[in-house]
Amino acid sequence: MARVIVDVMPKPEILDPQGKAVHGALPRLGFTAVTDVRQGKRFELEVPHVDDESLAEVHRIAETLLSNPVIEDFTVRVDA
Amino acid sequence: MARVIVDVMPKPEILDPQGKAVHGALPRLGFTAVTDVRQGKRFELEVPHVDDESLAEVHRIAETLLSNPVIEDFTVRVDA
């Protein structure tokens, strides 16, 4: 059994209201070291074994179900 | 400027309805390679420089604002 990670983040040119809300809350909580925050999603997918076929399927899942390609970018990687 | 990644995932013993919904949708879409899905959040925090102090602050932010320690685990890492 192996784990494949799909990270989905808003594209850089897309407004990210969730990240902005977190960023706006930081100074009110006394945190000053962070200059920007972006929020996305992380998916952990279990597959019986990692090969070209299962990775291609995870890629199609990421493209069609886990992300909205109009406003989000995704990356697929095998968990170390 | 450096980027610090905070990944927040539901604890293993906690039900994850979002992940279950994704997992349940996969066979209906013709995907058969994935045996489990868990969904969490990914935050990208920009800091002017990475040092013990800024990492400690990101750790406190993750603990108090980005995650609910009762039901979620988080990891902090500097983006390669």
ipTM attached to this prediction? 0.94
The per-residue pLDDT for A80 is 76
Q: Are A46 and B35 in contact (CB < 8 Å)? A: yes
Residue B68 has pLDDT above 80, yes or no: yes
Distance of alpha carbon B57 from alpha carbon A14, whole angstroms: 27
User: How far off is chain A from B60, nearest CA to CA, in Å?
Assistant: 9
Per-residue model confidence as pLDDT tens for chain A (80 residues): 899 999 999 999 999 999 999 999 999 999 999 999 999 999 999 999 999 999 999 999 999 999 999 999 999 999 97
Residues in CB range of A72: below 8 A, 6 or more apart: A8, A9, A10, A11, A14, A40
Residue A11 with chain B: CB contacts under 8 Å: none
Alpha helices, DSSP H, located in B1-80: 17-28, 52-61
For B9, phi and psi rounded to 5 degrees?
-125, 150
- In angstroms, rounded to a whole number, what is the distance separating the alpha carbons of residues A69 and A58? 15
Give chain A positions within 8 Å (CB) of B53. Answer: 33
Sign of torsion, CA A11 A15 A20 A22?
A: negative
Residues of A in contact with B26 (CB under 8 A): 61, 65
Query: How far is B35 from B2, CA to CA, in rounded Å?
Result: 36
Q: Which residues contact A64 (CB under 8 A, 6 or more apart)?
A: B29
Task: Give the model's pLDDT for residue B80.
Answer: 76
What is the count of structural domains for chain A? 1
The CATH number that applies at residue B41 is: 3.30.1280.10
Nearest CB to A45 within list B34, B42, B66: B34
CA angle B52, B39, B20 (to 5 degrees): 155
For residues A7 and B43, the answer to whether their CB atoms sit within 8 Å is no
Minimal Cα distance from B66: which residue of A?
Answer: A22
**By residue range, what is the domain housing residue A50?**
2-78
Which site among B20, B45, B54, B72 would you substitute to test the A interface, given the most A Cβ atoms closer than 10 Å to its Cβ? B45
b/e burial code for range B51-60 (CB count within 10 A of at least 16 → b): eeebbebbee
